[in-house]
Amino acid sequence: MRHRVRGRKLGRTASHRAALLNSLATALLKHKRIQTTLPKAKEARSYVETLITKARKNDLHSRRQIMSVINDKEVVKELFNEIIKKIGDRPGGYTRIVKLGNRMGDDAEMAILELVDFNDVINAKAEEHKEKREAKAKAKKENQEKEVAEEANVVEETAAKEVN
């Protein structure tokens, strides 16, 4: 019987599972959105939400507790300076899971795990990438037009030489 048995084992040993959850939490706090399998996302959600709740206290003890889990100082600074200021007023529910469907290779159910109030950050990054792609495509098109014009000039010159 599974009475009061919490959490998923995810097919890993306890130390491997702890390392996986630490890395998922670090990646989520760093990038604000990660793509992973649905069971990992569900397990990481509760893990990250407890970290954010601890960080809301914003004292030395909570900072040290979080540093024992997240080994990236920049991510911890970002958590305490930016993330807590933006979502610290919420009474919970800091993350969102969006189901994506199944992965092609092994048919695993995929999901996006994201921080709730950081869609504008992600959308700004996407807009920046879109602008870069469009500028690159425009430059490529201009280069192709130049090449076509140069080829037309070469053809005209050779035709003019043949006529003479």
pLDDT band at 20 (very low <50, low <70, confident <90, very high): very high
Q: What is the domain range of residue 27? A: 14-117
Compute, in degrees rounded to 10, the torsion defined by CA atoms 37, 38, 39, 45.
Answer: 110
Number of domains into which the chain is organized: 1
For residue 114, give the nearest of 43, 52, 41 by alpha carbon.
41
Average pLDDT value for the chain: 90
Using one digit for the tens of pLDDT, what is the confidence trace for 80-103?
999 999 988 889 999 999 999 999
Tell me, yes or no, whether 138 lies in a domain. no
Tell me, yes or no, whether 136 lies in a domain. no
Task: Give residue 121's pLDDT.
Answer: 64
Q: Whole-angstrom Cα distance, residue 146 to residue 158?
A: 18
Burial 107-120 (b: 16+ CB within 10 A, else e): eeebbebbbeebee
Tell me, yes or no, whether 101 lies in a domain. yes
CATH code assigned at 27: 3.90.1030.10
pLDDT of 126 > 80? The answer is no
Task: Give residue 15's pLDDT.
Answer: 96
Tell me, yes or no, whether 80 lies in a domain. yes
pLDDT of 21 > 70? The answer is yes
Tell me, yes or no, whether 143 lies in a domain. no
Q: Whole-angstrom Cα distance, residue 1 to residue 25?
A: 30
3-state secondary structure of 142: helix
Query: pTM higher than 0.85, yes or no?
Result: no
Tokens (6 digits) for 144: 């192709």
Tell me, yes or no, whether 127 lies in a domain. no
Tell me, yes or no, whether 7 lies in a domain. no
The strand pairing partners of 95, in sequence order, are 115
Share of the chain above pLDDT 70, in %: 98
Tell me, yes or no, whether 32 lies in a domain. yes
